[in-house]
A and B are shown apart, each in its own frame.
Chain A
Amino acid sequence: MSERTTKVHLNREHCRKLLHQMLRIRRFEEKCAELYTQEKIRGFLHLYIGEEAVATGVMEALDPDDAVVATYREHGHALLKGVSADAIMAEMYGKQEGCSRGRGGSMHLFDAATRFYGGNAIVAGGLPIAVGLALADKLAGRDRVTACFFGEGAAAEGEFHESLNLAALWRLPVLFVCENNLFAMGTALELSESETDISAKAASYSMNSEAVDGMDVVAVEVASRRAVAAIRKTGAAHFLECRTYRFRAHSMYDPQLYRAKEEVEEWKDKGPILRFRKWALNAGGLREEDVEEVEAEVDREVAEAVAFAEAGTWEPVEDLMRDAGAEKRI
């Protein structure tokens, strides 16, 4: 592969982009939380705040034609894959201008144009889908990668092990990205796994596997670029465990009885945006005016998304059965 895909050049433009992407997720979701308390957004809302470096770093390594399969904590992945903030916010509102026409909501964002395959709310249920997408690419001779995101809780599911085995056995171009935020909802990793090193489980399937600091966007990007380049070269699956932390509750209903406030505060001090901004400013990768401009751009994008969602329309109830099945066979 070319150097373009394997090296990370931390020039001003790239630093600005990384900050911008992480902030897009952060501000978008902060707005979602606010809208949730106003009851504009209902149902479950799972925020990714604290974990932004993972989606940001991985997405830098993907091409537009690569596929992404994500979980119910996927607003950031959808945004960075290229789904518009407008369409995502409208979906959160349940409006028909939403990226899933209001049928999916927060947990089921989909977008065919950017090859964003959900929005899967059964833990580990997306892994076999990713295996299948990659199998289709292999059988059709297409040079594309499928990136599949999931939490460490998925490692307790059979589908995790079945999928890793299939992808390794059949040499399929899948990048498995484990977002290890240490809690499966409220159950700590050490309370649910006999082996808490998730990357070691993946390695046991004869798959290239590594763990990185998921709070460090540059580390994630470097590892992702290396992994994706290897996948494109060899066709073989790769596993990346990103060790991270969720700053907010599991969902809006979670009183967080299972962890200490101090622990959350300690992790916030190591937050990916705080850390990267501080480093980049010190290292000369970013200037104060860059940060201000990026903040302003993001605020504008989020405000426009809210306006778009507010102006959106409700699908007529008569259309309830639309897309329950195909109109006719082809």
Chain B
Amino acid sequence: MTALPRSTEKKLGLVVDLDTCVGCHACVTACKGWNDQGYGAPLSDQNPYGADPSGTFLNRVHSYSVQPEEGFAQTINFPRSCLHCEDAPCVTVCPTGASYKRAEDGIVLVNEDACIGCGLCSWACPYGAREMDADAGVMKKCTLCVDRIYNETLPEEDREPACVRTCPTGARHFGDFADPDSKVSRLSAARGGYALMPEMGTKPVNRYLPPRKKDRPQEASLLAPLLDIKASGFAGWLDRVLGKMG
């Protein structure tokens, strides 16, 4: 059993805007590219050119069909990665202390030197956010790009997670949820940001912005015809429409 900090100074996390995410997977491979050469072991691939390719990804996008009771069916694109929970079961279940939540910023990390690859944390995570790297035999997960966000060798504007930096639609936002005035806190408050599966009691830090209501009934502002064209004929229409020109 590993202990969680009683509280963290910051609560760093992501806002993912489901109204804006088009499901392009840019965040998926930007994450793969950064973390393949970043924190800890590379993100390996097995049989990359084979019949059954697989590999380690810290962030994946799923698309779901949703059929509302009324109206047209919809497609929701749903990026999935670690939510950096305040009550992270993946940490408390860890037998070696490898899985931990940082006291200063709340990031949940795996200390790969201490990880024995038992996989308990992955079973404990209700969100499926951890992946065991088959080559390295250690558990991999979103680090919030801990090696970017504090990295003073990067320009200041680049000190954000790779997935946020690359997102073409700007559907991903990074910040401190402990600060009620931060961009992410305000955005989440304004757009009804919600935590995934709060009933699990994990208190996720990340927030998802719900899709705005779609296919709303149009206002009854049907265009009024200028005049009865059938009665007035084309010449009548022409006089009327050009008369508007003044």
Chain A complexes with chain B? no
Binding site for A on B (CB under 8 A): none
